[in-house]
């Protein structure tokens, strides 16, 4: 179990959001709960925590009967201690720090500058990677998509959620060069 600190996404069962937020505050674990100005969540039951896998396990143990939340996971190959065999294991899926920083920046902006698209949809993973050169989202990188006949910058947390900014003038965008490494 990793002791490295990462962001993780949790699907929190409806009646447990307030209790979990209070527990996180009490034990000093940083969290992010994207809410609208009126306090309603942008994405129902989605909460992000910044802790280690051990911290997640401790939260899971103190959660009410029935769990209270589910951690977004991915499959990882693990090696058996007794042999060279590997097996697939579901482990908490860490979120890239940069991806999370961009998501927080976009969802913390003025309410009329973006739209929550809901669960991440693979169709938002294609398209050219661009950077915003000026304006309220200057420096952000994302993929350009046409949504409702409008050109927008889409920021995703892979497998969790996608957020689209308001219309962005194409003159404010520049392509991001793919970084290649010599093999």
Position 20 scores a pLDDT of 86
Domain end residue (candidates: 35, 64, 92): 92
Give, in order, the Cα–Cα distances in Å from 157 to each of 22, 135, 163.
25, 23, 9
16 close to 68: Cβ distance less than 8 angstroms: yes
Position 122 scores a pLDDT of 37
What span, in angstroms and rounded, lies between the C-alpha atoms of 124 and 105? 19
In a domain, 29, yes or no: yes
Residues 87 and 104 in one domain: no
Tell me the pLDDT band of 182, cut-offs 50, 70 and 90.
very low
**Mean pLDDT along residues 73-97:** 85
Task: Tell me phi and psi for residue 53, to 5 degrees.
Answer: -60, -35
Residues 106 and 157 in one domain: yes
**Mean pLDDT along residues 9-34:** 87
What span, in angstroms and rounded, lies between the C-alpha atoms of 174 and 14? 41
In a domain, 181, yes or no: no
Pairing of the two strands 114-118 and 161-167: antiparallel
Residues 80 and 102 in one domain: no
Range of the domain at 65: 6-92
């Amino acid at each position: 179990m990793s002791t490295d600190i990462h962001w993780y996404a949790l699907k929190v069962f409806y009646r447990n959001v307030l209790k979990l937020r209070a527990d996180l505050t009490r034990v000093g674990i940083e969290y992010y709960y994207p809410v609208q100005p009126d306090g309603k969540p942008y994405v129902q039951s989605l909460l992000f925590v910044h802790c280690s896998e051990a911290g997640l396990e401790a939260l899971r143990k103190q959660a009410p009967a029935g769990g209270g939340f589910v951690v977004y996971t991915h499959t990882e190959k693990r090696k058996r201690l007794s042999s060279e065999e590997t097996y697939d294991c579901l482990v908490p899926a860490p979120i890239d720090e940069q991806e999370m920083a961009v998501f927080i920046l976009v969802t913390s902006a003025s309410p009329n500058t973006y739209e929550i698209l809901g669960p991440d949809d693979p169709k938002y993973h294609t398209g050219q990677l661009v950077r915003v050169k000026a304006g309220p989202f200057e420096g952000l990188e994302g993929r350009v998509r046409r949504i409702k006949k409008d050109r927008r910058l889409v920021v995703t947390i892979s497998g969790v959620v996608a957020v689209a900014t308001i219309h962005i003038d194409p003159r404010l965008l520049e392509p991001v060069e793919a970084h290649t490494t010599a093999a």
